[in-house]
Structure 1
Amino acid sequence: MEIVYDIYLPGCLKVTLRLRGSFMMATRDLLVGAIDFGTTYSGWAFSFLHDFQTDPTRASVKQWHSGSGILVTEKAPTCLLIKSDGKTLEAFGYDAENQYRELTDTGAHKEYYYFRRFKMALNKKLGENLDRKMTIEDEMGKSMNALNVFAMAIEFLVGDMMKNVKDKLTSAIGKDEVHWILTVPAIWTDAAKQFMREAAVQAGLLTSNLTIALEPEAASIFCRHLSVDTTISGGNTSIAKMPVGTRYMVLDAGGGTIDITVHEVVSENSVKEIQSASGGGWGGMLVDKAFENLLIDLAGQKVYDVFKRTETEDWLDLWRDFEVKKRAVAPEKTARVNMKFPLSFSNTFERVTKGKLLDAIEASKYASDIEFGGDKMKMSASLFKSLFEHSIGKTIGHVTSLLRDENVRKITSILMVGGFSESPMLQQAVREAFPGIDVVIPLGASSTILRGALVYGHSPISIRERVLKYTYGVGTTSKFREGIDPEHLQTTTATGKRCRTFSKHVERGQTVKCNEKQVEKGYRTSHKFQKKIRFPIYASEDIDIRYIDECIYIGEIELQLKDPDELPGRRVVVSMTFSGTEIVVKAVDEKTGEDTCVFVNLLG
């Protein structure tokens, strides 16, 4: 038996889906490519439709080799080395790290841009500005247009994947024939998601072939296919074996953000969201920041800045070694943590302050916790582990607050995914904080999002329902009520005095079915010979809203009207879909009957 129906993907692309057996397939998706663009690490993977139908977990995943040839990972550092023209990408990932390090030998690195961990620039709150002209600084403080940097990274990942695809096929295939999945944090704003879409389009992808996937959702649906022996949890809990109605929390801990949502099992291969995504910028980078603050506390901001600028190679080596130690440290460790520590740091301290670094340490609060021997820094286990306190504290505190909700209290398990979930420190903290809840950690937690994005690309019906984070609507006008409505919101149109009000389409906490429009509303023109109608879109964390100044403007849609009418009152019916990963808007001009897809501009 085969069931056929249509859905509209972002950009109003109509796609025919067919239900065969237990999977929903998009007929055009013979090849799905996924890009996991992470704060600290990124990667790509692809899978063919026939492979997916045989085994949904089967995927071709890029294996990245570090310069030493010893380390092989499924994701590479999100690092870009860009030439001085600001247009040419010299290297990406481990190659960018290694080439930049080599350039520091001659001082030639000053002629390049070196970007790392820049994704957090898009981690904005509702109402915070995000636009196409935004700039970001590289590691040495030089600025570039952010959209260009993101586009270069995506273009490299796309090109690198296509080279591998072509090596595996006897016939040619182009990137326009691939259904691309680009992952983003679920807690991101709609503007940040649009920013990533535009960066991907600038990188050469067709918007009609591109789907934005939410990171914790991708990980969740991938783990619905994993058996218990593919986890490192130490128990017998399997997300795949959970019966219908079971609820579990997805804790996606990345380098930049901690992204948390709650899912309920709907069927063998699908889930629904019962708690909207929440979290914050509490990922592994907070541990890095704590270590940087410790160095600054020891030596001073000026010494650290001079060391970074003048001894860049040693600065890079210091952070590489710290990353290794950060990943390995465990809660039970009691012995001191030994790190390579460049002598140039001590020399820089002496040059800048005319004093001795050892004397400064002995006079500080770290005297009993830090000691030096040759080119080694020996840090007490307690001090090193304290670097995790802020990140872990924020995460545990947030999960604790979520568990106060009646819907969330019913969870039986916490699924930990993302690169930072591989940290023994975070794993143990979650287990100790929530002893009555099973903690499930899949093998290769850092690549579950990448692999899950492929599952989502082949089977978008895997996510049945979502819970809205915000109340959404459009700005409109209603008859002005003297003595009731605020005077500053009064406006005059061809139909008299009007008040600028909020027309709600959906509200925060509302459960919506995926790929179905939520509400349809009619609006009328207010001027003679009106050639276009504009709808400003607003969002709010509140539910009961009447006026536009009670919410936040996030963007607008604009519809051109053919054959303008002499009198106002021409009706346009607008439907918005907020259940997908992006806002989709359709408008029907009742006069012409035209069904139009409307571009939503959320970036100013």
Structure 2
Amino acid sequence: MLPSDVKLLIAFDIGTTQSGYAYSFTSKPGEINTCSFKGRPPNTKTQTSLMVNKAGKLVCYGQEAEDRFSEMCEADDMSCRLYRNFKMAIHHNPTLNKSTKVQDISGQHSMPVFDLLVMALQYLKNHVMRAVNRFSDTYNEDDAFFVLLVPAIFDDRAKWLMREVALKSGIRSERFTMALESETSSLWCLHENINGIKPKGTRFITVDLGGGTADIIAHESQGDGSVESLQSPCGGDWGAVNVDNCFKSYLSLLFGTQAVDDLIKQNLHEWYKLMKSYESYKVSKAADMKLHIPLSLKSSAVDNKGLHGTAELAELIKSPNFGGHFNMVGETLEIDDEATKGMYTYTVNCIMGKIEQLVQRGVVTNKNVDHVIILGGLVNNDMIKSMLKEALNRYSLVFPDNGEMFAAKGAILYGHKKSLVRSRVIPLTYGIKTTVPYDEKKHCDSQVKLINGVKMCTENFHVLIKAETKVNVGHEVKELDKPLVADDKEQNFEIFSCGSADDIPTLTSHFTVHKEASFSIPLPYGCLVDDKVFERCVILGEPEIVFRLSFKKGKKDIFIKHMEYI
């Protein structure tokens, strides 16, 4: 339930390539409003692009940043930097922290991705507050509760960073929750009864195919707008950025990596114009791609390849060496239909393979999955839509209109009523590092320490929950614990994970076990260990794992801890 003083619910969707938000007033929860950014017609999303000055301060955001940077490039003004696609830096990054840096589009400047995400969220927060107070200055941030969307396939470290981004942007912890994009997209699909999926028992797969990632999840409708999860979220970095990288690899193949690098470093404005031209083709209905190639790129390619001129380069490009899919006519590079399809092949194959994998594992079958719903920004492209229809022709495929806003709208439903997601499937086996009496059969390779004259194993992997376990939202695992010695002033916790649900290692030092996070709590004063007994409660089935710790004697403090990656 939302706090009683909340008047406004806001959901933010900071995507890799596009951002937006939705909101509703608690007095009218059924009326969901979406953002409106400048453009013709007004856009419900804007580019996730930031232009910053040399001091690292935000100059402008979104489409305005793209337009102004383009103007500055034309004027050969490089006093500002443009950052795009920076959110991908936090996807499956095992060393991610607040200092992790990303490069601007020139590749010559960098900033912490944490700072960029904070700027993005603050911009959107200010934008929505102006929108809700457009006709009256009635609401402020203290009246709002915020939902921050993240891909369901984000790992715990990435979710931690997004929580820290929210806090740094001025959102209070008690006024904030996280939601998973593919889940909330499913909720909105149910709300709209897309393809008649609302009846109880209807099973469907939702594929949220956006700028950076593809989120895939299977749900069963409960008939009342709520869902039961059938599997843990899966997917990968198969979104629009992957398609962009394929296009860049074409350029490197045809003109040479060095020529492309030189273009970016020496003629950034030409590179930027080339990429903007490519992006306009990506959302058009044209099968063949025709792009203006800067003279500097062709000249550099001629020099690096040791050719006698651009005519020889053109002959080389259209030769069988490159499959006959490319042609250079004057200053125009032509890429045929087959090569253009090739840019999307990896994404389509990965989605098809993942769905087939779910079938093979028995999570779903052809008979019990009624629909595959594919939405997100990338499916606005007709070519990938056609390729997906062909690859998944044995399923009932649905491509809802305006599907790129489903996640944000569904997040509003979720914010009002989190119980709409009744259950989740835990993706990993989670446990904590504990010290237990040494067992020769289990702990033969472990570190050993004598404590009170007893031989103890100090790296036992104490399992809290196994991978692929289905739990209700808010599921609690409670255990009593206590320090090893009475002199301890604080209790340290180290959380570990592994991908296996069977044959789980007994030691945290095993190569398949990975340290996730750590935190500590102060212990109460007392002469005896039993004076410091506490209850450790792990709350599972939420987008984030939460620990609640309380003492059984004396001190009544309750500690709420999220996973911390410091």
TM-score band, normalised by the shorter chain? over 0.9
> 1:588 Cα shift?
1.5
Inter-partner Cα distance in structure 1 for 2:524 and 2:404: 51
2:429 corresponds to 1:468: no
What amino acid is aligned across from residue 600 of structure 1 in structure 2? H
Aligned to 1:116: 84
Q: Which moved more, 1:480-489 or 1:549-558?
A: 480-489
Q: Give the distance between the partners of 1:354 and 1:363, measured in 2 at CA.
A: 12
Deviation at residue 329 of structure 1 after TM alignment? 4.3
Q: 1:94 aligns with which of 48, 53, 63?
A: 63
Distance 1:601 1:462, change over 3 A: closer
The answer (yes or no) to whether the contact 2:302–2:313 under 8 Å persists in 1 is no
How many residues align structurally? 554
The yes-or-no answer on 1:383 pairing with 2:351 is: no
Q: Which residue of 1 aligns with 2:179?
A: 213
Map of 1:21 onto structure 2: none
More moved, 594-603 vs 301-310: 594-603
Which is further off, 312-321 or 88-97?
312-321
Query: Per-residue displacement from partner, 1:498-523 (whole Å, max 9, x unpaired)?
Result: 11211111111111111232x10111
Distance 1:556 1:600, change over 3 A: farther
Matches within 5 A, 1:272-283: 272-283=228-239
Give the 5 Å matches for 1:471-490: 471-482=429-440, 484-490=442-448
- 1:516-562 residue CA offsets vs partner (Å, 9 max, x unmatched): 32x10111211232111111111111123322123211012312112
Distance across 1 between alignment mates of 2:334 and 2:374: 31
2:19 maps to 42
Q: In the alignment, what sits opposite 2:35?
A: 62
2:522 counterpart (553, 560, 578)? 560
The Cα offsets for residues 369-397 of structure 1, whole Å up to 9 and x where unpaired, read as 32334443222111222211122222212
Conserved 8 A contact 1:469-1:508: yes
- 2:377 is matched with 419
Q: Which moved more, 1:201-210 or 1:489-498?
A: 489-498
Q: CA distance change for structure 1 residues 89 and 401 in 2, over 3 Å: closer, same or farther?
A: same
Whether the aligned pair in 2 keeps the contact of 1:29 and 1:458 (CA below 8 Å) is: no
Structure 2 residue 548 is matched with structure 1 residue 586: yes
TM superposition shift of 1:472: 1.0
TM-score, structure 1 as length reference: 0.87
Contact 2:87-2:113 within 8 A present in 1 as well: no
Q: Report what 1:337 is aligned to.
A: 289
Instruction: Evaluate the alpha carbon distance shift between residue 238 and residue 341 of structure 1 in structure 2; reply closer, same or farther with a 3 A threshold.
Output: farther
1:437 to 374, 395, 401: 395
| Greater mean alpha carbon deviation, residues 589-598 or residues 441-450 | 589-598
Q: Does 1:80 align with 2:50?
A: yes
Is the Cα contact below 8 Å between 1:585 and 1:599 reproduced in 2? yes
- Determine the C-alpha separation between the residues in 2 that align with 1:553 and 1:582: 16
- Whether the aligned pair in 1 keeps the contact of 2:352 and 2:392 (CA below 8 Å) is no
Structure 1 range deviating more: 425-434 or 151-160: 425-434
| Match of residue 353, structure 2, among 377, 397, 406 | 397
Higher relative contact order (CA 8 A, sep 6+): 1
**In 1, Cα distance between the equivalents of 2:50 and 2:333?**
30
Q: Read off the aligned partner of 2:474 and give its amino acid letter.
A: N
Q: Give the superposed CA RMSD.
A: 2.1
Q: Are residues 166 and 70 of structure 1, via their aligned partners in 2, closer, same or farther at CA, if it must alter by over 3 Å?
A: closer
SS of the equivalent of 1:406 reads coil
CA–CA distance in structure 2, aligned partners of residues 510 and 136 of structure 1: 36
Cα distance between partner residues in 1 of 2:422 and 2:565: 29
Structure 1 counterpart SS, 2:411: helix
The 5 A counterparts of 1:162-173 are 162-168=129-135, 170-173=136-139
Q: Is the contact between residue 338 and residue 379 of structure 1 (CA under 8 Å) also seen in structure 2? A: yes
Correspondences of 1:113-512 after superposition (within 5 Å) = 113-124=81-92, 128-141=94-107, 142-168=109-135, 170-228=136-194, 237-239=195-197, 242-329=198-285, 333=287, 336-350=288-302, 355=307, 356-364=309-317, 365-366=321-322, 368-409=324-365, 410-482=368-440, 484-494=442-452, 496-499=454-457, 500-512=459-471
Q: Deviations over 1:453-495 (max 9, x none)?
A: 1111112111110000011111111101246522432123236
Question: Which residue of 9, 28, 46 corresponds with 1:51?
Answer: 28
Secondary structure of residue in 2 paired with 1:488: coil
- 2:171 is paired with a residue of what secondary structure? coil
Matched-pair contact (CA < 8 Å) for 1:530–1:568: no
Deviates more, 1:580-589 or 1:477-486: 477-486
Aligned partners of 1:484, 1:402: CA distance in 2, in Å? Answer: 34
CA distance in 1 between partners of 2:21 and 2:296 (Å): 38
Task: Kindly indicate whether the alpha-carbon contact (under 8 Å) linking 1:576 and 1:585 is maintained by their aligned counterparts in 2.
Answer: yes
Q: Distance in 1 between matches of 2:291 and 2:447?
A: 62
Shift of 1:347: 4.1
Which residue number corresponds to residue 12 of structure 1? none
Identity of aligned residues (%): 25
Q: Given the superposition, is the C-alpha separation of residues 274 and 390 from structure 1 closer, same or farther in structure 2, using an over 3 Å criterion? A: same
1:32 lines up with 2:32 in the alignment: no
Q: Which runs of 5+ in 2 are unaligned?
A: none
**SS of equivalent residue, structure 1 residue 565:** coil
Q: Are the counterparts in 2 of residues 322 and 339 from structure 1 also a CA contact under 8 Å?
A: yes
Structure 1 residues 386 and 484, CA, compared in 2 at 3 Å: closer, same or farther? closer
Letter in 2 for 1:62: C
Equivalent residues of 1:271, 1:464 under 8 A apart: yes
Aligned to 1:574: 536
In structure 2, distance between residues paired with 1:92 and 1:340: 27
Structure 1 residue ranges without an equivalent (≥5): 1-16, 18-24, 229-236
The offset of 1:350, in angstroms, is: 4.8
